[in-house]
Amino acid sequence: MESVVDLALLGLLAVTAFGVLHLRNLVAVVMLMGIYSFLSAALFVVLDAVDVAFTEVAVGAGVSTILALGTLALVGTRQKRHAKSPLIPLLIVLVTGGMLVYGTYDLPRWGEPDNPVHGHVAPEYLADHVPLAGDEGDVLEVHIPNIVTTVLASYRGYDTLGETTVVFAAMVGVLTLFVGSRRQRRTGGPPADDEGGSGAS
Amino acid sequence: MRDQIILRIAAKILIGPIFLFALYVQFHGDYGPGGGFQAGVIFAAGVILYALVFGLDRARAVIPTAIVTWCGTLGVLIFAGVGVAAMFMGGNFLDYGVLLYDAEHAQHIGILLVEAGVLVTVFGVMVTLFYSFAGRRRSR
Amino acid sequence: MEFLGLFNYWVVIFLMMVGFYALISRGNLVKKVVGLNLFQTSVIIFYVSTGKIVGGTAPILIGDDHGVAEGAAEVLYSNPLPHVLMLTAIVVGVATMAMALALVVRIKETYGTVEDDEIQAQVLADEQREGARP
């Protein structure tokens, strides 16, 4: 049953991705990306990743849709028909995809309990019994039912600190790009000599 | 959208429960799906909903840009501060075990503080991003 | 079973290639960002797929309000580690996407367009003008 739902959702994801590629109305594209996020969240629930599904719904379908729509309000919603031949990109994509598919034959089969991924630290996390470096037999036990929270905040706190810093850095980046110069757009006329003024504001 | 009475009333009804739900997600994250990242985004979604319905100016009057930018910074500071506090109390960086009288409670309080830091940062960053994109056209 | 065991990976590769194709063949910068987003989601689906154990349950220990129940460790759980990594990756992904969109907005304000061939033509024209000037 799990596999059937999994297959159906993956099929829907593939169809939605195709729609995203082909539509030229960018508002429709952004809305399709929202649907795509919801579908992938459903897929994550089937794959037992409830926390990831929650995040995907809140972030992927909520905030990123809003941000993309805000961008479209500023840059316009039509994508121009491109004149370039699609042959070379298609060739690159097919060759890359072919090689990747060939590579999947060496991957462990999906969903098997004895895959290498499940062997290293995951059992210790799940048993809430993580050996500490240093003294022999010293273990860390947190006693919180949601293992994802425990791993996120405690066992892998460094990772999360890094990710939080990246989010903060992205905010600084956007503010740096947006605050500052209010330069007029160039519309073919002679270049205005305002290069010096842009940095000062 | 100020003249759309249905949207306005619906938003008024919804915003309170959205904030409550964010708090639930934050503090129930130990027992079910949820945590700082999700709660921060849901908090931000409440503010964004307010801004979409009542206008950006009123949203900025309620929660000024300066405050959300500070929030984005403060969260990282809380997170790193917990790590440094653990160092001062004799442990390693982000080693919560030394924060309280026994290791298990210390772990719980450490996780709570760190998740609070994540919540504050994610909330601040998401609202800042929304304000930046939404306020762009009128500043030109 | 051979087919089912690899199907997830193939769909992931298909999604990844759709995103890659959108990135390299479409001229609109917003579409390129959307393509990158597709690419990123495919990687996230791949990671979460590897964490799945058929017949397993979500990695939240069975218990009641007072903590973890006896024998909770005997239940089969899926691997929590990919979930943690991807959870943070999604949030970082939207932050970096906002960064990319901000760049797109600035490009629009500077060049008046977000189509890469028109931007290229303007840059070329600028360079020729610079070259003509002594």
Q: What is the DSSP string of A173-192?
A: HHHHHHSS--PPPP-SSSPP
A135, A70: one domain? no
* pLDDT at residue A90 greater than cutoff 80: yes
Give the per-residue pLDDT at B140. Answer: 45
When mean pLDDT is compared across A131-140, A157-166, C10-19, the lowest value belongs to A131-140
* pLDDT at residue B50 greater than cutoff 90: yes
Give the per-residue pLDDT at A134. Answer: 60
Select the residue of A79, A174, A187 nearest C102 (Cβ to Cβ). A174
Number of domains chain A contains: 2
Residue A135's pLDDT band, with cuts at 50, 70 and 90, is low
Tens of pLDDT, residue by residue over B61-86, are 999 999 999 999 999 999 999 999 98
d(CA A132, CA B88): 20
Give the per-residue pLDDT at A113. Answer: 83
Residue C51's pLDDT band, with cuts at 50, 70 and 90, is confident
Q: Which residue has the tokens 């069975």?
A: C62
Q: Which residues of C touch A84 (CB under 8 A)?
A: 25, 27, 117
What's the rounded mean pLDDT across residues A14-35?
92
More confident position, B139 or B31: B31
Give the per-residue pLDDT at A197. Answer: 37
Task: List the domain boundaries for chain C.
Answer: 2-54+76-132
If we measure between CA atoms, which residue out of A63, A43, A109 comes closest to residue C90? Answer: A63
d(CA B76, CA B121): 6
Residue A175's pLDDT band, with cuts at 50, 70 and 90, is very high
Domain boundary among A79, A109, A126: A79
Rounded to 5°, the CA angle C91-C92-C95 comes to 90
Q: Is residue A59 domain-resident?
A: yes
Q: Do C60 and B132 touch (CB under 8 A)?
A: no
Q: Which residues of B touch C102 (CB under 8 A)?
A: 132-133
* pLDDT at residue A60 greater than cutoff 60: yes
Give the per-residue pLDDT at A192. Answer: 41
Q: Which range of residues forms the domain containing residue A135?
A: 118-182
Q: Do A73 and B137 touch (CB under 8 A)?
A: yes
* pLDDT at residue A196 greater than cutoff 50: no
* pLDDT at residue A40 greater than cutoff 90: yes
Select the residue of B32, B122, B140 nearest C60 (Cβ to Cβ). B32
Chains that touch C (3 or more CB pairs under 8 A): A, B
Please name the residues in contact with C113: beta carbons below 8 A apart, sequence gap of 6 or more: C119, C122
Give the per-residue pLDDT at C65. Answer: 57
* pLDDT at residue A20 greater than cutoff 80: yes
Interface membership of B129 toward C (CB under 8 Å): yes
Residue B1's pLDDT band, with cuts at 50, 70 and 90, is low
Provide the b/e sequence for A23-33 (b: ≥16 CB within 10 Å).
Answer: beebeebbbbb
Q: Which range of residues forms the domain containing residue B23?
A: 5-139
Please name the residues in contact with A171: beta carbons below 8 A apart, sequence gap of 6 or more: B69, B72, B124, B125, B128, B129, C95
Instruction: Calculate how close chain A gets to B105, using CA atoms only, in Å.
Output: 8
The interface pTM score, or ipTM, of the predicted complex is 0.89
Interface membership of B41 toward C (CB under 8 Å): yes
List of long-range contacts for C65-70, beta carbons under 8 Å, 24+ apart: C65/B31, C67/A143, C67/A145, C68/A128, C68/A143, C68/A145
Tens of pLDDT, residue by residue over C67-95, are 666 666 678 888 889 999 999 899 999 99
Region C2-54+76-132: CATH code: 1.10.287.3510
Computed over every residue of chain B, the mean pLDDT equals 88
Computed over every residue of chain C, the mean pLDDT equals 86
When mean pLDDT is compared across A172-176, A193-197, B118-122, the lowest value belongs to A193-197
DSSP three-state, residue A146:
strand
Q: Do C105 and B129 touch (CB under 8 A)?
A: no
Chains that touch A (3 or more CB pairs under 8 A): B, C
Q: Is residue A89 domain-resident?
A: no
If we measure between CA atoms, which residue out of A32, A149, A64, B90 comes closest to residue C97? Answer: A64
Q: Do A82 and C106 touch (CB under 8 A)?
A: no
A7, A65: one domain? yes
Number of domains chain B contains: 1
Alpha helices in A76-179 (DSSP H): 87-104, 122-126, 147-150, 157-178
Q: Do B34 and A51 touch (CB under 8 A)?
A: yes
Inter-residue contact C33 to C100 (CB < 8 Å): yes
Residue A200's pLDDT band, with cuts at 50, 70 and 90, is very low
d(CA A122, CA C79): 6
Report CA-CA distances (Å) from A51 to A45, B70, B75, C72, C100.
9, 27, 21, 19, 26
Computed over every residue of chain A, the mean pLDDT equals 82
Q: Do B129 and A142 touch (CB under 8 A)?
A: no
* pLDDT at residue A17 greater than cutoff 80: yes
More confident position, C28 or A3: C28
Share of chain C above pLDDT 90, in %: 45
Give the per-residue pLDDT at A2. Answer: 78
